[in-house]
Amino acid sequence: MNHTAYLLLGSNLGNRVAVLHRALVALAEQAGKIVSVSPVYETAAWGLEAQPAFLNQAVHISTALAPEALLDICQQVEQEAGREREEMWGPRTLDVDILLYDDVVLDSPRLVLPHPRLHKRRFALVPLADLAPSLVHPALGQTVQQLLADCPDTLPVEAWMGDL
């Protein structure tokens, strides 16, 4: 049985565009079929703001993997991109977050679904709204578009105008 998952890719170290592209290829090979991808956005860093801007992109995938198995693949793809977990919200070559997985609400030691800060982050909601504006957040009961309209985050999220 296939499941619908929405991921967020982010990179603010190295060749950010190449990192996102390699992550898409790896996810397609290891996690499931990529159904659609959002445009790329350049976004200010959130949480720890004194660092380079990120490129972010939302990804809609169809996967046979269970949530924690998908998390394992996401973390493996991060490691293959040279991700080092040195400080929370610090700079990174690649970050792959599971934003939503079907209508699953999960709170395990390894994974919280939907992503616990999704509704507070414009850098995640803007690209997700490109893919699924009327998707309802299973815990909050609001659409992605409604969450974006009510989002308290005011950090800039701009369409990436660089070469892809």
Provide the annotated active-site residues. Answer: 83, 92, 95, 97
Q: Do 99 and 6 form a contact (C-beta atoms < 8 A)?
A: yes
Closest CA to 147 of 95, 99, 94, 107: 99
At 41, which helix (H) or strand (E)?
A: strand 41-43
Euclidean distance between CA atoms 142 and 164, whole angstroms: 33
